[in-house]
Amino acid sequence: MYEVALSEAHFPAQRDADVREIAVGGMLRETAARRPAAEALVEVRQSSEVGRRWSYAEVLAESERLAGALASRFRPGERVAVWSPNSPEWVFMEYACALAGLVLVTANPAFQVRELRYVLEKSGAVALFLVDEYRGNPMAGIGAQAVDGLDAIREVVDMDDAAALYAGSEAVPALPEVAPGDAAQIQYTSGTTGFPKGAVLSHRGLVNNACYYAGRCGVTERSTWINPMPMFHTSGCGMITLGSLQAGCRMVLVSLFDPHAILGLIESEKATVICGVPTMILALLDAHEASPRDVSTLELVSSGGAMVAPELVRRVRQSFGCAVSTLYGQTEYCPVVTQHHLDDGIDDICDTVGQPIAQTEVSIRRLADNGTAAIGEAGEICARGPCVMLGYHADDAATAETIDADGWLHTGDLGTMDARGYVRITGRVKDMIIRGGENHFPAEIENVLLEHESVAEVSVVGLPDETWGEVIAAFIRSEGGRALDADALHVHCRARLAPQKTPAVWCRVDGFPMTGSGKIQKFRLREGYLEGLYREEAR
């Protein structure tokens, strides 16, 4: 770990790693030149069968061919959306957009019409790249509805249709010069109003964050990294994909998370590293303990998105015989802010989220005056460094609220820092709910529920849960005081939201605890539920 003795909750940037001034495409070319024959990418299909394989030279050739096709149809700086589960084509699109100077807009394959349309419309995307369906979600049909009336959309492309995907590749236009500070991606995450806002991430931020993260994980060119994390999130397309790239190691890309299948991949591919949210790691442990596989090559389990229970760390060490490293981050920092070192003890792993990564300042700021907090004093976690987003797309006001005049990124999370620079999360300034490592926004869910004729007033909060970290609960005052039909409300939400956003707990209330200014006190709803003051409606 970094040896520091802080007098206040401000951790200075550590210079043990350089800030690379290189774009994503430049890093791909650099690694392909250094390790052309090394295996780079292994496909694992939704059936859990191992499919195609590519060397680094082959990944570069495929990406440059696709970049040429895209450059013949789109101008540098234009935004194109990728709406697909994990696949090699997703990886090629990431690299091709980077090489062609396009901004890749990511979208969750579980989205329904209104969610997808929101991302397309807000980002100003000019094209949508999708697949026909995923896990029963009729994506082609949803995509057609989502783009209806959006004049900016010039193309809707099936990523499984090679002719359509690579159309124009014969023209081979000259690819543009792409600078490290250029926008590489827009990823939609929480904003000050609770609605998703498009964090614009630079090539510099994504490349360096992945380098620092992978370096602290101990990843080298001899590593094999299993990637079950969603590519639409910075964990999948940034931390792991670009982390593997900078090391020049092999990435095994999993399309559909199945714990038994992944254990088989660890054994057959001799994997050394895997990253997953705690719910994934718990499922892997349960599967391994029920039907053991040879996981002796595994060196590290990396996890984030929620606090890790001590029992989970002990089980990983006992069952997998490897190290555990947890991390804390947010999309706006590309995303890792703090991370454990490989030799950290179990108390630090379980009670903190580690020390800041290289080249990253972290400060705990008092809410009252934005001053630096004392050691152990709670305040807002703020970060400053090369990985801070460029801003929120087309939203200067939200950007100014999140990145202050001194360049500090205000995370919206509350925490403390000890004298060694280890950070502990204590709560959230915002009401965002983190379920299974995914961020959910109460206002979005509340607005959907308010569309139902039986709902007069609603407040959505997160409740603690051992498996998911948090589950979503809806507290509803019904029209006319009538009974709550949880089944009907569930169906209503499922038709309009991704499954994981649909509340799992439904409670009818006659009124809400309010502040003097008339705002609902969500913390009192949460406390009241845990104290048994609210009755859950059965489904």
pLDDT of residue 191: 44
pLDDT digits (tens, 9 = 90+) for 376-432: 998 999 999 999 999 999 999 999 999 999 999 999 888 899 999 999 987 777 677
121 alpha-carbon distance from chain centroid: 21
Q: Are 435 and 470 in contact (CB under 8 A)?
A: yes
Mean pLDDT of the chain, nearest integer: 94
CATH 2.60.120.10 fits domain 24-43+50-178: no
pLDDT of residue 32: 98
φ/ψ (deg, to 5) at 225: -110, 120
pLDDT of residue 332: 97
Q: Are 302 and 274 in contact (CB under 8 A)?
A: yes
Of residues 314 and 251, which shows the higher confidence score?
Answer: 251
Is the pLDDT at 517 greater than 60? The verdict is no
DSSP-assigned beta bridge partners for residue 514: 520
Q: Where are the domains of the chain?
A: 24-43+50-178, 433-530
pLDDT of residue 307: 61
Residue type, 377: E
pLDDT digits (tens, 9 = 90+) for 449-492: 988 999 988 999 999 998 999 999 999 999 888 899 999 999 99
Reported as a pLDDT band with limits 50, 70 and 90, residue 192 is very low
Q: What is the mean pLDDT of residues 167-179?
A: 88
Is the pLDDT at 123 greater than 80? The verdict is yes
Is the pLDDT at 447 greater than 90? The verdict is no
- Class level of CATH domain 433-530: alpha beta
Q: Helix, strand, coil proportions of the chain in percent (round to 5)?
A: 30, 25, 40
| ∠ CA 507-509-513, rounded to 5° | 115
Is the pLDDT at 516 greater than 60? The verdict is no
325 alpha-carbon distance from chain centroid: 17
pLDDT of residue 515: 62
Is the pLDDT at 308 greater than 90? The verdict is no
pLDDT of residue 523: 85
Of residues 365 and 171, which shows the higher confidence score?
Answer: 365
Q: What is the mean pLDDT of residues 60-80?
A: 97
pTM for this one?
Answer: 0.88
Reported as a pLDDT band with limits 50, 70 and 90, residue 438 is confident
Asked whether the CA dihedral 95, 100, 105, 111 is positive or negative, the reply is: negative
Winning range, highest mean pLDDT, from 178-192, 244-258, 416-430 = 244-258
pLDDT cut 70: percent of the chain above it: 97
Of residues 538 and 228, which shows the higher confidence score?
Answer: 228
Residue with tokens 């990418």: 41
pLDDT of residue 520: 83
Residues present in the chain in total: 539
Residue with tokens 């718990």: 282
pLDDT digits (tens, 9 = 90+) for 258-286: 999 999 999 999 999 999 988 899 999 99
Is the pLDDT at 507 greater than 60? The verdict is yes
| ∠ CA 40-54-214, rounded to 5° | 15
pLDDT of residue 140: 98
pLDDT of residue 96: 98
